[in-house]
Structure 1
Amino acid sequence: MAPAVTAQYLRAAAAALRAAAAGARATGRDWAAEESALAVGVAGGPAAGVARLAETSPAVNETAAQMTAVASVLDVSASLHERLIGWEGPLAHLADAFGEVLDRRCAEEVTALCTPPAGPPGRRLGDLGGLSPDAVHELQLTENPRLAPLFDGGEARLLEAGPDGVVAVVGDLDSAETTLTFVAGVGSSRPESWPGYLGRARELNQATGAATVMWLGYRAPATLTGAVAREPAANGAADLRTFQAALAARNPGQRRVVLGHSYGSVVASRAARDPHPPLEADALVLVGSPGVDAKNAGELSLAGAGGVHAITSKADPIGLTVDDRAGVHGRDPTSPGFGARVWHAGRGVDHSGYWEDPVTLAALAAITRGPGDSTGVYAPRGST
């Protein structure tokens, strides 16, 4: 009996991927040429839109390289399948079993190429419970001197660092009434993006008054195409749960809020899927989400009673990837049947514009302060 996946099929898939990679590279060259043409003498309009897209969409060439690498894996698998087909005599009955194993290993290799897990941090916050935030910062910088320029002259404190991520806090981690853990999305594992995310943590700290953690503690998808994968969210969710547990152990009486943006909302909601134990958070906020892998908010387990909150602007194109029933990563958390408390964003806010939007920031401040705060704009989606 032939293996489950034929060598011919694998080679055809590899050829298709290589063709798609070549097309992606050509598209990238076209985009670069168009961007250069638009940028000449134009301060706003289309050029500004292209620049914004370039900021939020990683380079096409990386996607093309990923496609080419996967094609190579498929070619190797095809060669091994061809050897299996040639087995005769006493070994023939084993071909099926080996074919299934080969298919599984091929799938695992492809997954590893597209969604490799992050390397673990050298020291987790939970291992340093006896140290002040300043001492944790100095110890982490001693062991990760490459990160020193990121913190030069700033008030942020480094809490964890690994080969693929960084965790830092703006505000006093131990004396603040609330900690707000911000989980970022696609492209956030790029070191060149970290100053921008640290700036976002400062903005959230100023808007909410909470000690704001920039949690980039997982290997985020590098590309928008890679963001359809669920493995990075699963890997990140486990590490986020560990970090939140460390916060709870450090300051048991502190209020904790987890905020996930874009793919970060997939990570954050995945972290709340396991009720044993529940995620150490009083409230969960999902902003610009491509979907939640849950039937409703009741399937998300939090240690506190602050509930699940959702914000998606009508102008955010992420809304095209998700609806009331399903989406790239599950249901739209702003849909009426999901059961989250839905807050408005300001008019015209795009996918990366929430952090400059006073309406969104007021909502986040109200959520962070907890039940009973009426600041911010709350209403079912679509009412304005």
Structure 2
Amino acid sequence: MWRRRGVCSKLPYVQWAAIATLLAHSFLRTWTRSKLSSPTVRIIVLMAYSHDPAPSPAALIEVRSTQVALYRPAGSGCQLQTPFGSPAMRFDEKEDMSAQPPPYLKAVDGYGVGAGKPMMMASPASAAEKDLPARPTTFEASSSYSQAPATSQHIKLQTRFADISGTYYVSPHAVATPPATGRRRRRKQKRTQLVPDAVFRSRRGNLALDLGTTGYASENAAASIAASTRSGNISMNLIAGAAVRPRFDVEISTRSGNVVLFIPPTFSGAIQLHTKRGEMQFLPGITSEMRVVKATETEYLVFVGAQQIVGGEQTPADFCRLRTRRGNIMVGIRGKDLYVKPSGLWERITGFLRR
């Protein structure tokens, strides 16, 4: 007698086994996430891949309230592992690791990183850079940055609205350039040499920096420093160094902020000031030691200190260039001059409008 069969009866045995496996796995995931503390439950799933009456070894999944692990019968060539392919772990550890993709660390390693903590390791951008020498250390800031004296060959601090402050010792690095054989090669060589050793940039924040140099002038004559901001104020103190230290090559620029520069008593070189609508002022301590070369309503060029000649050759000189459009510029000598920041109502209003 002919009998109509349903759709479920037509499914092969392999598909039934796959459906049972998926349901068991979904049940386990739902249960583990709900953090139910219940007695040990043992579920046996027969992994059958054919109609062979002798199925493959059974997988015993043991679920506890504190640990999940997958065990297989001895002799099957399988080792202890979890259903997720990682070492067994506690639920509280897995919650902490939810933001970090696997593999997870089981214990504290040699770097002092705990379980579930990402390891911060530097790697070259490409395989071709593995044989290259180590690059200079670069510091980048995305918020207010103030720290203890730091020494580095290359410093780069860049913010948008936050202030930048701190004491930094800049070590100039030599730029290896090929010999100039043509006009284009010479232009490229000049652009390469203009890369500063230290860069401090902010869009609307203020800059308050104490800068010194390290190294030897016989290897690198000067340390190039660039500090700029769009609407903030810049105050910079240059720290005096020994005669063998590299000289200063400083460039400061701002659009609407004020610039205050204090040079050390050992400063020997030129200072160039430029402003369109602001005022330029030299404090009493520096006026007695400077020589004015150029003086206009918008620009000043002065020499400070005596040029020293050692062994018949002139020693490297310092150079500072200060530029602002609508702000004021003030220059003095550290230890001799004193600058008091104005705190009147008008200064507060203009400072608020700049931001």
**TM-score, shorter chain, exceeding 0.5:** no
TM bucket normalised to smaller: under 0.3
Decide which structure has greater strand share.
2
- The TM-score normalised by the length of structure 1 is 0.25
TM-score, normalization by structure 2: 0.27
Q: Which has the higher contact order (CA 8 A, sep 6+)?
A: 1
* Larger-Rg structure: 2
